[in-house]
């Protein structure tokens, strides 16, 4: 068994020596970050912050989104700030010395708001028995009805939420910056990056960036430490890929969100891949493989190639990665290697496979050029 372990280690070392693609992991807790590091991840390519707003913190998020006035919203943001700072400090500690890409909040809103039907039933049943419903329930129902969306995945998510809810971006960026300062003071080497989700247009990125730069500068002034935090964007909508040259003016890095990019390019909901019709459709032979698992080279892949070329034409040193599920899919890893990405980011358990495939992709390229 010891020999087998040594052989596997040697194989991984050889793959690591060959590959051009770096491998990072998608992780959003210190435990997952530490696990990813043990599997050989060289950083976090995507730290989703959504889960940090669920559980006990849900009430604060509700208060933030449904706030009746500025004071109410500011109070919930102020309560969230130290919690977020702790979240980020833990992850930065687990990945000390390696890049950690923290993505600003990107929730489909319905996952954070109380259930509209449940509230409506509660209010209606009180009225039916002649009682006045709870005032909080009626207020919530009216707010949730105002914010209701037919297609939450195409609605108030990502950068849109950050632009619409005052103070949200500033709170998250401050939490990142303060966590960086805390880690530096503790003798660490934190390398946080801030990533903006669901950008369609450079104007959105520019608006968020102004706020990010302002907060980073303020924390630097308060702490007396330079807070160096690259700001970049997800490329996960066709429009962003097609206008990548302009977007790169305001982004220090790109990360392809191939889950949303596949959904919006094909027009299939990513939440329906388990649905009966989708499995039946897979049998029809329209796709060679599910485009949500393996990169569709002709469509999504073309958008990736366009965005890489346009982005690098504007900014030759633009760092480019992928953090959708495809980042851990063996065949897709070969595609990303050929497309000239700098890294793939995948779930911690897929990191070893991604390392191997990245090595094989590099080797295959060398062998192909030798036989030509
Ligand atoms: C993506 O869309 O590919 C992505 C990584 O973001 P999320 O899955 O969180 O929407
Ligand atoms: Mg996405």
pLDDT in tens, 91-106: 999 999 999 999 999 9
pLDDT tens digits for range 164-189: 999 999 999 999 999 999 999 999 99
DSSP assignment, residue 146? H
Q: Residue 335, Cα to own-chain centre: how many angstroms?
A: 21
> Which ligand has its closest atom nearest to the C-alpha of 261?
1
Distance separating alpha carbons of residues 42 and 361, to the nearest angstrom:
18
Reduced to 3 states (helix: H, G, I; strand: E, B; else coil), residue 371 is: helix
Structure tokens at 3: 């020999």
Which residue has its alpha carbon closest to ligand 1 atom 8? 259
Question: How many angstroms does the Cα of residue 172 sit away from the middle of ligand 2?
Answer: 18
Confidence at residue 275, expressed as pLDDT on a 0 to 100 scale: 92
Any ligand 1 atom below 6 A from CB of 323: yes
Q: Which residue has the tokens 């032979």?
A: 285
Mean pLDDT of the chain: 94
Residue among 323, 327, 328, 344 whose CB has most ligand 1 atoms within 8 A, to mutate: 323
Confidence at residue 113, expressed as pLDDT on a 0 to 100 scale: 85
Distance separating alpha carbons of residues 357 and 15, to the nearest angstrom:
8
Which residue has its alpha carbon closest to ligand 1 atom 3? 257
Confidence at residue 197, expressed as pLDDT on a 0 to 100 scale: 98
Q: Which residue has the tokens 């019709």?
A: 277
Res. 372: pLDDT tops 80: no
Distance separating alpha carbons of residues 11 and 355, to the nearest angstrom:
10
Residue among 260, 263, 266 whose CB has most ligand 1 atoms within 8 A, to mutate: 260
Res. 319: pLDDT tops 90: yes
Question: What would the DSSP string read from start to end of 191-256?
Answer: EEEEEE-S--SHHHHHHHHHHHHHHHHHHHHHHTS-----EEEEE-SHHHHHTHHHHGGG-SEEEE
> Which ligand has its closest atom nearest to the C-alpha of 265?
1
Any ligand 1 atom below 6 A from CB of 50: no
Q: What is the number of the ligand 1 atom nearest to the C-alpha of 324?
A: 3
Confidence at residue 369, expressed as pLDDT on a 0 to 100 scale: 87
Any ligand 1 atom below 6 A from CB of 48: yes
Q: Which residue has the tokens 């950083």?
A: 43
- 84, 52 in Cβ contact below 8 A? yes
Which residue has its alpha carbon closest to ligand 1 atom 4? 257
Look at 139 and 29; give whichever has higher pLDDT.
Answer: 29
- Average pLDDT rounded to a whole number, residues 335-362: 97
Q: Residue 132, Cα to own-chain centre: how many angstroms?
A: 43
Cβ within 8 Å of residue 91, ≥6 positions away = 27, 28, 29, 30, 33, 44, 47, 100, 102
Confidence at residue 288, expressed as pLDDT on a 0 to 100 scale: 86
Least confident of 53-67, 273-287, 321-335, 338-352: 53-67
Confidence at residue 110, expressed as pLDDT on a 0 to 100 scale: 81
Reduced to 3 states (helix: H, G, I; strand: E, B; else coil), residue 324 is: coil
Any ligand 1 atom below 6 A from CB of 260: yes
Res. 56: pLDDT tops 90: no
Res. 79: pLDDT tops 80: yes
Confidence at residue 210, expressed as pLDDT on a 0 to 100 scale: 97
Look at 182 and 112; give whichever has higher pLDDT.
Answer: 182
Question: How many angstroms does the Cα of residue 348 sit away from the middle of ligand 1?
Answer: 16
Orientation angle between helical segments 300-314 and 330-338, nearest 10 degrees: 30
Q: What is the number of the ligand 1 atom nearest to the C-alpha of 50?
A: 9
Question: How many angstroms does the Cα of residue 133 sit away from the middle of ligand 2?
Answer: 38
- Average pLDDT rounded to a whole number, residues 314-320: 98
Which residue has its alpha carbon closest to ligand 1 atom 9? 48
- 116, 145 in Cβ contact below 8 A? yes
CA atoms within 13 A on the CB side of 336: 36
Q: What is the number of the ligand 1 atom nearest to the C-alpha of 26?
A: 5
DSSP assignment, residue 102? E
Question: How many angstroms does the Cα of residue 257 sit away from the middle of ligand 2?
Answer: 5
């Amino acid at each position: 068994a010891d020999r087998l372990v040594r052989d596997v280690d040697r194989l991984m070392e050889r793959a690591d020596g060959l590959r051009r693609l770096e491998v990072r992991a998608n992780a959003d807790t210190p435990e997952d970050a530490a696990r990813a590091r043990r599997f050989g991840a060289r950083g976090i390519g995507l730290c989703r912050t959504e889960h940090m707003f669920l559980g006990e913190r849900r009430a604060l998020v509700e208060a933030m989104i449904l706030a009746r006035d500025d004071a109410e919203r500011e109070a919930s943001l102020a309560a969230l700030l130290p919690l977020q700072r702790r979240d980020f400090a833990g992850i930065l500690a687990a990945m000390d010395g390696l890049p950690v890409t923290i993505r600003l909040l990107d929730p489909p809103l319905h996952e954070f708001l109380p259930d509209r039907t449940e509230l409506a039933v509660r209010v209606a049943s009180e009225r039916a028995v002649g009682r006045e419903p709870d005032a909080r329930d009626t207020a919530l129902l009216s707010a949730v009805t105002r914010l209701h969306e037919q297609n939450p995945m195409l609605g108030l998510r990502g950068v849109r939420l950050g632009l619409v809810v005052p103070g949200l971006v500033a709170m998250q960026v401050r939490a990142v910056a303060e966590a960086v300062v805390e880690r530096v003071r503790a003798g660490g080497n934190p390398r946080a990056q801030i990533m903006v989700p669901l950008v369609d247009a450079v104007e959105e990125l520019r608006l968020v960036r102004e706020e990010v730069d302002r907060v980073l500068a303020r924390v630097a002034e308060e702490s007396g430490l330079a807070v160096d935090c690259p700001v970049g964007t997800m490329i996960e909508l066709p429009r962003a890929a097609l206008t990548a040259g302009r977007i790169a003016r305001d982004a220090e890095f790109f990360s392809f969100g191939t889950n949303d990019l596949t959904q919006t390019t094909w027009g299939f909901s990513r939440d329906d891949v388990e649905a009966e019709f989708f499995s039946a459709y897979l049998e029809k032979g329209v796709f060679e493989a599910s485009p949500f698992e393996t990169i569709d080279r002709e469509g999504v892949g073309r958008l990736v190639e366009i965005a890489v070329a346009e982005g690098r034409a504007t900014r030759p040193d633009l760092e480019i990665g992928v953090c959708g599920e495809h980042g851990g899919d063996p065949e897709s890893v070969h595609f990303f290697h050929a497309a000239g990405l700098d890294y793939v980011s995948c779930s911690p358990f897929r990191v070893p496979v991604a390392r191997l495939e990245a090595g094989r992709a590099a080797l295959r390229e060398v062998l192909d050029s030798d036989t030509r």
